[in-house]
Amino acid sequence: MERGFWYYVNISYTILCLLLTVVIYLVGYLKNKAGYTKPHFLVFLFASLLPFMGIVLILFTFGAWNIDYSALIMPISLLIISYGILKYDFLEIRTLARETIFENNFAGMVVLGPGKRIIDYNKAAETFFKAIHISLNHYPLEHLLAREPKLLEIFESEDSRDFSLMIEGEERFFEIDVVPLGDPQDSNTRMLKSIRDVTEERKIQEKLKLLATTDSLSGLYNRAEFMNLAKKEFARAKRNHEDLSLLIMDLDNFKTINDTFGHAAGDEVIREMGSILLTSFRKTHIAGRIGGEEFAVVLKNASLEEAKEAAEKCRETVSRKKVIYEGQEIAFSVSIGLAAIHGNADVNDIEDILKMADDALYKAKAKGRNCVAT
């Protein structure tokens, strides 16, 4: 049978398709793309070469028998393809599942190739970069983040990092994790960067920390946190030979307030006392509620005289203050005991200075209350 013009058009098209297939699998094998292993590509490369060899035999074999070698070889090629599909789960549903998870993940995901060039990204990543006015494309990171050197350094790092950004006037916190896609030793290995917004988690953590360390009624540190901070400050003052003063305060006749006006009124007095302490002392000082109606303040770098002056001002502020509860005026006062250490004085433990201040408080009570004693 004579081979006509359209025969050669058909055979040329078939050869071109097969050559393209072989090239694609060969490039995939050489680059070892993320998500597939080299055996994947070898199986399909070999299966694609067989029909190509059949067509070559047809073109260069002349004789009485017009045999379609590609048709004879095709079943073998199909068997090899079937083996590859079954052996390596090439068309397994989990591939589709992984793509769906990648695309719809709440975390922003960016796949980086050689040269830190962006290969792929999901919707969440696009939203993240859009929020910081960066349009994602397939340029290298250096190009995309040229105006954000801090962010560029974070994204180029191969370690997991925490960072924060101002977005629409609000500080938001993020975690970025790194997963190598392939051999970590290979310089051409792709990397998956996962960006997770942890702002709400941070807020919850801060709330939990606040609940664990703060007295809800007064707004001051609770006893456990106050003692923890006081011990640290005491140790620092001893180590650096610095002044440190401690005030212990007790609301006068607080039981009478509770009995006369009720416990809710007593709670209002506690709240007011907490507010007074927060405004009467520096933010660097440590104020806490250490008992029912008992409070304490650590004054850093304050001598005995300086602490006495601060305590007297606080006492006067309290004595002038009145709480209005259900239309009734409630006056209250406070007795204050004061102790201090200077440099490396012979006070070895926070409990020692606490006892000194507590003894001074008893003196203030004995004097008739509403006074400061040392």
In this predicted model, what pLDDT tens digit does every residue of 250-280 receive, in sequence order?
A: 999 999 999 999 999 999 999 999 999 999 9
The residues annotated with a catalytic role in the active site are 293
User: Within 13 A of 285's CA, how many CA atoms are on the CB side?
Assistant: 23
User: Distance between alpha carbon 199 and the CA centroid of its chain, in Å?
Assistant: 7
214-373 in CATH: which number? 3.30.70.270
Instruction: Say if residue 287's pLDDT is above 50.
Output: yes
Q: Rounded mean pLDDT of 14-42?
A: 68
pTM beyond 0.85: no
Q: Which of 293-331 are b and which e, b meaning 16 or more Cβ less than 10 Å from the residue's Cβ?
A: bbbbbbbeebeeeebbebbeebbeebeebebebeeeebe
Residue-level length of the chain: 374
Average pLDDT of the chain is: 84
Residue 321 has pLDDT above 80, yes or no: yes
Interval 179-183 mean pLDDT: 79
Q: Please, are residues 139 and 118 in contact by the beta-carbon 8 Å criterion?
A: yes
φ and ψ at residue 252, rounded to 5 degrees: -75, 135
pLDDT at residue 225 above 50? yes
Residue 197's pLDDT is 92
* pLDDT for position 316: 95
pLDDT top residue among 237 and 81: 237
DSSP symbol at 36: -
Q: What is the pLDDT of residue 180?
A: 85
pLDDT tens-digit series, residues 120-174: 888 999 889 888 888 887 778 888 888 888 888 888 888 889 999 888 888 999 9
Q: Taking the alpha carbons of 171, 213, 269, 314 in that order, is the dihedral positive or negative?
A: negative
Alpha helices in the chain (DSSP H): 5-31, 38-60, 69-88, 93-104, 123-131, 141-144, 149-156, 199-213, 223-240, 254-261, 263-280, 304-320, 350-366
Confidence (pLDDT) at 294:
96
> Per-domain residue ranges for the chain?
5-91, 102-203, 214-373
Question: What's the pLDDT score for residue 356?
Answer: 93
Nearest alpha carbon to residue 303 among 273, 340, 328: 340
User: Which residue do the tokens 């047809």 mark?
Assistant: 58
- Residue 1 reports pLDDT greater than 60: no
What does the pLDDT read at residue 33?
47
- What is the predicted pLDDT for the residue at 254? 94
Question: Among the ranges 10-14, 75-79, 239-243, 336-340, which has the highest mean pLDDT value?
Answer: 336-340
Is residue 323 predicted with pLDDT exceeding 80?
yes
Confidence of residue 187 (pLDDT cuts 50, 70, 90): low
CA atoms within 13 A on the CB side of 311: 34
Q: Alpha-carbon distance 108 to 95, whole Å?
A: 19
> Which CATH number applies to 102-203?
3.30.450.20
